Structure 1
């Protein structure tokens, strides 16, 4: 059955569809506002007339390609193509600004492939066990893990924890707009009916990172982001990194991939969360955390390993339990149902050939992604040499199209522009935008599961502490907060003592 499943994918027609789907996915992922979910949903009707293996292979290829494609605009334009590539901008864009765009893209491509393949190994070997673990997570555990994720604000706040905290609180406040979870009571809508559903993540993301960056670029005097001469000084050789550098990132890639798989398995979190968490974990584990954000390969490795690893993680509950791990796998579930296939525990027994065909399609799609991005490297880098008076209007047009296409309403375009002004003002005030986005993403998860947990426990907070998994995570959260505050106080004492010590040395 394994051999039959593999051979069912290794036909010319299926391989061409996987290659084409991967390329289309990369294009969709690289355009701000055009999400992976949107790309898979658009191609879902096309699979009606295909065989199950062909149709699902095409959808899997779009999923893999779309998740990876976000690194292109994240590195070249400092604009994440998808929420999964937010953290890639932190170090990818500074490398591109130094003329090392090809190297940054190469690093991202290689570790996107590594993260994706590691997650597939987990999917192939540990799916039933991991699905059982994921079933142990209820509202108490989801609340605790989301609260723990908020501690990453310290690592994403730069030199000022206060500024990062202010930005995170602003993000949480924005997330409160709209209908309250569970009760459905409208909050902070001010009579505007469009706000009843809350503020969508993608228009906010495009505004914070794309429009604010366009406004920032528009202030510059140069015609191009990077001169052609600067690009020539850093020619692309292979993927831009040596074997020694690759091996040096082994632990970072393994840790980040594990985070991606773990977050991907838990329904409702997804790649938008895991890439930021993996970046924060890499920064905390680094011996030189001050270099993060200046163009260090560790940051790109962490982000791209984790977001691509989340694809395999999200497939675990889908294949073994029939539960989608994120929005895109919800569309993939519809793809299964269209062909009369019901994912779940019996899928591995009743349709093993299809299961192994899907596994093979995922592997082939990752290889196709590696090849497509590698051969496109020289063309991607040329974007940096395009004059800004041509490039910026194109970016804004794509952003408007992407924001409008999410829900087909102009309100999302105005939301995008408003967040663009907010992001621009935050840059001028030296407030980091990433903690705002982190608070915006995590606040609904925290609030929803807090309410569910309190309903389940009849308004008692005790189970949040007494449940083993939840209690352990909350203790870890407390330890991290205490350690962060202690480290910040120690850093302030060190800075205050430096002038005194320098004066004493001069006197001596």
Structure 2
């Protein structure tokens, strides 16, 4: 046995395998760092290129892309508040505040080291205990998936600062967005309003880009007016050392253990994924922390737990895939296709008929984490420089990647419209102190909860008792208790945020006609009408969205009650500004993919933003520099997406 292990190690250390691993890691980091290009897309795009490689090298490059892309998503999450991958949503909570505090380099170092530690934890468990954990993953059925999803939904109130009710309303919005399209149980369309584009529902990548990337680009545009003459980001970068970052992580073992453990646990649950793992780990780390107030303001523990969780998830997701043929995440499902293409069938036969290949692949995933540590730390000095790119360039660049990232997932222009429309709405909601994270979490977990509920009801009826099916068994009891505890904690948190009675006593009248009160009253009436309309839907289609809308109404009534005693704040304080013209222009250009073509769109976005800023004298840049940057960046986009990747993009529609 030892001789065979040494033989596998020597085979892995051959220069061809090491080269393939490093190249895959670099490709993965780039894919993860570009908003919209998810790990799933990165693995899927590379499968055709593995045809010319042997099974071993093909699996190594796919696995290293998987690892690199999950880590790469943290780079824009930290530097620009734009998660490069769905699994990096929780990293934005403390990563971007650290950048604003001048700690971008330290944040990236913490992300790299935590990713490697979490990844090693998951891969070592995969290497030594895969068969044991495979049996464990089979214990999770519809009931357990329902409680996991409900547990995730109940942490919405805690993951973001601000009003608990607004966070929960955001979660309801996300769940309702996920209800649009073909119903997963009945197979019939729901909430499509006769529009064919809605039948397929909203794509998760388009939704996340619309919630995070597009509003951030608009915020950067809004900041143009107050920027300095060179229009560069004004963050001051504090010096950091790798040794100090290692010490920081060493002093916070709880964050690392919670992140790695939950990441591995959630990764083994089929269909869960790193986005759920990282958010749950973030919440639990915050829950068991004595200093909860520092989270969301640049606390290193937020990055440590999030990045260790989403990277530990990789090993967890590969366990049911390799041992049972059941993918534990969307990317693992694409990975399964890569296995089958090379004639490798997962399951018991994998470790018998292809034992050498399986052992070499699992060992390569351990080595990939070491390579990630070296490559990631070596590139941090270059990553940090990205945050110094002038805002008049960065905003169009984010918009350009948002557009192509949304389009290439399904080659759908509707996804681009989703990004623009949802991005504008999210930008306005941010003005009213709403957060994007609860909406994203509701969108991700809503379908999992509904499927678990409806499938569990069917199984429970077949077994004789629905109640017994959902509320018996060790995991069901433990998870349901966690849900109850989290709900009680949310109620307590909301109670702590209440205004003191003396503050209400000072107000001498109720503001029925204030703008916030009128807006919330309109929302309550609209939700009530929607609930009345939902009653006519078939039972399986209506119950989950109906209960979600009921929660929405209750929460909106609470916000309406608050608005009656508050002055005209938030929405009513917005003032017209010249920047609105630029925002409207950018939105129109971003929506014109099929009319002007993608590359014309990229060029016009760069030119229009820079020209407007120069015209308003917000920047001092020559026309030659503006034109040169616009042409060079457009050419680079063409070289990457048309020449290299060969993504089919729409060109301008002929008018003749």
Shorter-chain TM range is: over 0.9
Q: Provide the C-alpha distance between the structure 1 equivalents of 2:502 and 2:309, rounded to a whole number of angstroms.
A: 39
- State how 1:405-484 maps to structure 2 within 5 Å: 405-458=408-461, 460-462=465-467, 463-484=469-490
Is the Cα contact below 8 Å between 1:274 and 1:307 reproduced in 2?
A: yes
- State how 1:281-360 maps to structure 2 within 5 Å: 281-360=284-363
Query: Which runs of 5 or more structure 2 residues have no equivalent in the other structure?
Result: 506-656
Partner residue of 1:154 out of 154, 157, 173? 157
Is the Cα contact below 8 Å between 2:127 and 2:363 reproduced in 1?
A: no
Match of 2:242 in 1: 238
Aligned CA distance change for structure 1 residues 138 and 100 (closer, same or farther; 3 Å): same
Q: Provide the C-alpha distance between the structure 1 equivalents of 2:122 and 2:377, rounded to a whole number of angstroms.
A: 21
Taking structure 1 as the reference length, what is the TM-score of the superposition?
0.94
Is the Cα contact below 8 Å between 2:155 and 2:486 reproduced in 1?
A: no
Is the Cα contact below 8 Å between 1:204 and 1:416 reproduced in 2?
A: yes
Aligned CA distance change for structure 1 residues 159 and 396 (closer, same or farther; 3 Å): closer
Aligned CA distance change for structure 1 residues 388 and 347 (closer, same or farther; 3 Å): same
The alpha carbon displacement at 1:367 in A equals: 1.5
Is the Cα contact below 8 Å between 2:218 and 2:395 reproduced in 1?
A: no
- State how 1:82-121 maps to structure 2 within 5 Å: 82-121=85-124
Is the Cα contact below 8 Å between 1:29 and 1:35 reproduced in 2?
A: yes
Q: Provide the C-alpha distance between the structure 2 equivalents of 1:180 and 1:499, rounded to a whole number of angstroms.
A: 46
Is the Cα contact below 8 Å between 2:160 and 2:296 reproduced in 1?
A: no
Aligned CA distance change for structure 1 residues 158 and 461 (closer, same or farther; 3 Å): farther
Partner residue of 1:388 out of 388, 391, 398? 391
The alpha carbon displacement at 1:157 in A equals: 3.8
Is the Cα contact below 8 Å between 2:256 and 2:308 reproduced in 1?
A: yes
The alpha carbon displacement at 1:225 in A equals: 5.7
Is the Cα contact below 8 Å between 1:95 and 1:295 reproduced in 2?
A: yes
Match of 1:226 in 2: 233
Q: Secondary structure at the match of 1:107?
A: helix
Is the Cα contact below 8 Å between 1:178 and 1:196 reproduced in 2?
A: yes
Is the Cα contact below 8 Å between 1:103 and 1:239 reproduced in 2?
A: no
Give CA-to-partner distance per residue, 1:125-154, whole Å, 9 cap, x none.
Answer: 221111111101111111111111111112
Root-mean-square deviation over aligned CA pairs: 1.8
Q: Provide the C-alpha distance between the structure 2 equivalents of 1:339 and 1:312, rounded to a whole number of angstroms.
A: 21
Is the Cα contact below 8 Å between 2:233 and 2:390 reproduced in 1?
A: no
The alpha carbon displacement at 1:490 in A equals: 4.4
Query: Which runs of 5 or more structure 1 residues have no equivalent in the other structure?
Result: 501-508
The alpha carbon displacement at 1:47 in A equals: 1.3
Q: Secondary structure at the match of 1:219?
A: helix
Match of 1:503 in 2: none
Match of 1:505 in 2: none
Q: Provide the C-alpha distance between the structure 2 equivalents of 1:400 and 1:206, rounded to a whole number of angstroms.
A: 9
Q: State yes or no: 1:263 paired with 2:270.
A: no
The alpha carbon displacement at 1:403 in A equals: 0.6
The alpha carbon displacement at 1:410 in A equals: 0.7
Aligned CA distance change for structure 1 residues 283 and 413 (closer, same or farther; 3 Å): same
Aligned CA distance change for structure 1 residues 309 and 496 (closer, same or farther; 3 Å): farther
Runs of 4+ in 1 over 6 A off after TM superposition: 497-500
Match of 1:185 in 2: 188
Larger mean CA deviation between 45-54 and 165-174 belongs to 45-54
Give CA-to-partner distance per residue, 1:203-241, whole Å, 9 cap, x none.
Answer: 01001100001111111121556337x22xx12422652
Give CA-to-partner distance per residue, 1:358-406, whole Å, 9 cap, x none.
Answer: 1221012111211111111111111111110111111111111111100
Is the Cα contact below 8 Å between 1:5 and 1:357 reproduced in 2?
A: yes
Q: Secondary structure at the match of 1:130?
A: helix
Is the Cα contact below 8 Å between 2:254 and 2:285 reproduced in 1?
A: no
Match of 1:44 in 2: 47
Aligned CA distance change for structure 1 residues 171 and 350 (closer, same or farther; 3 Å): same
Give CA-to-partner distance per residue, 1:420-460, whole Å, 9 cap, x none.
Answer: 11210110010121111111111100111111111112285
Q: Which has the higher contact order (CA 8 A, sep 6+)?
A: 1
The alpha carbon displacement at 1:85 in A equals: 0.5
Q: Secondary structure at the match of 1:49?
A: coil
Q: Provide the C-alpha distance between the structure 1 equivalents of 2:288 and 2:504, rounded to a whole number of angstroms.
A: 29
Q: Secondary structure at the match of 1:181?
A: coil
Is the Cα contact below 8 Å between 1:85 and 1:304 reproduced in 2?
A: yes
Aligned CA distance change for structure 1 residues 491 and 422 (closer, same or farther; 3 Å): closer
Q: State yes or no: 1:143 paired with 2:146.
A: yes
Larger mean CA deviation between 483-492 and 298-307 belongs to 483-492
Q: Provide the C-alpha distance between the structure 2 equivalents of 1:104 and 1:240, rounded to a whole number of angstroms.
A: 12
Aligned CA distance change for structure 1 residues 497 and 283 (closer, same or farther; 3 Å): farther
Q: State yes or no: 1:272 paired with 2:246.
A: no
Larger mean CA deviation between 285-294 and 151-160 belongs to 151-160
Q: Provide the C-alpha distance between the structure 2 equivalents of 1:211 and 1:499, rounded to a whole number of angstroms.
A: 38
